[in-house]
Amino acid sequence: MMDLFDLTGKKALVTGGASGLGLAMAEGLHEAGAAVGLLDIAENTPFVAAALGSHGAPAYGVRADLSRPDEVERGFHEIVALLGGLDILVNNVGITRRGPTEEHSLSDWEAVIQVNMTTTFLMSKLAAQIMLRQGSGKIINVGSLYSFIGGPNQIGYTASKGAIRLMTMAMSNEWAARGIRVNAIAPGYMATPLNAALRADPEWHRRVMDRIPMQRYGTPDDLKGVVVFLASAASDYISGVTIPVDGGFLGR
């Protein structure tokens, strides 16, 4: 049974994988046996990869600014060359800009759409060219609760994450019969350093907890199981779906 989840010999690329949820997902894939490539703008990306690859399958880290299409292409080819192929792509990199819509600048809108949506399109296109040739592959996009509901004060982010859910369906429609499975993960309220200040605000904390049936924030580790599931043979008959990992939030 556990063989279904075994990723030994598989090659996985995680964008924005040097920290946060991307790193947790990369660790999950690595623990399941995959060789992992991290593509991230962060200076410490090669060191994070070296630590991950110090045991088990190899891990590689390449720095790239994924807000730039030329860098997306360079980074992709560099990491795929290091991995020696590609079986799994996790489109994790994402940014946000907050503020009321009536004051939201065009440059903030464009920055978010570029990284969250356009980079997902470009990465998936490059990955599909390899995966269609080999007749197999798993693409895992990262949405959010705002793939399902309208988030306040994050208009560009909400637009981009809504698009992720439909891009997941569209890519699945085109590629499922040719061996590629395309699915997405929608994390809920995850406890990360980014939202530490918000979580420390008692009013914000109470409002969020009122909506989460499990009565706790998610942790980066909560994504390990679902990413391994979607990357492995265990999910071979699943494509085009976005799976919320949200402590029950969307059911409320």
Ligand X SMILES: NC(=O)c1ccc[n+]([C@@H]2O[C@H](COP(=O)([O-])OP(=O)(O)OC[C@H]3O[C@@H](n4cnc5c(N)ncnc54)[C@H](O)[C@@H]3O)[C@@H](O)[C@H]2O)c1
What's the min distance (Å) between Cβ of 161 and ligand X? 7
Judge whether 157 counts as a catalytic residue: yes
- Of the candidate residues 5, 31, 33, 42, the single one contacting ligand X (CB under 6 A): 42
Q: Which is nearer to ligand X, 177 or 200 (CB)?
A: 200
One of 10, 14, 57, 67 touching ligand X (CB under 6 A): 67
Site for ligand X in 113-152 (CB under 6 A): 115, 142, 144
- Give the nearer residue to ligand X in terms of CB position, either 6 or 192: 192
Q: Is 28 in the site for ligand X (CB under 6 A)?
A: no
Q: Are 127 and 86 in contact (CB under 8 A)?
A: yes
**Shortest distance (Å) from residue 230 CB to ligand X:** 15
CA 123, 125, 129, 131 dihedral sign is positive
User: Using the rule CB under 6 A, is 235 a contact of ligand X?
Assistant: no
- If the CB atoms of residues 135 and 193 are measured against ligand X, the closer one turns out to be 193
Of 113, 88, 115, 93, the C-alpha closest to 20 is 93
Q: Between helices 119-134 and 69-83, what is the axis angle to 10°? A: 30
**Cα dihedral value 246, 25, 90, 44, nearest 10:** 130
Residue with tokens 């190899």: 58
How many angstroms separate the CA atoms of 30 and 83, rounded?
13
For residue 16, state whether it binds ligand X (rule: CB under 6 A). yes
194: how many CB neighbours lie within 10 A of its CB? Answer: 13
Contact with ligand X (CB under 6 A) among 66, 83, 163, 227:
66
Residues 247, 4, 121, 133, Cα dihedral to 10°: -170
From the candidates 60, 157, 189, 217, which is the catalytic residue? 157
Interacting residues with ligand X (CB under 6 A): 16, 18-22, 40-42, 64-67, 92-95, 115, 142, 144, 187, 189-190, 192, 194-195
Catalytic residues: 157
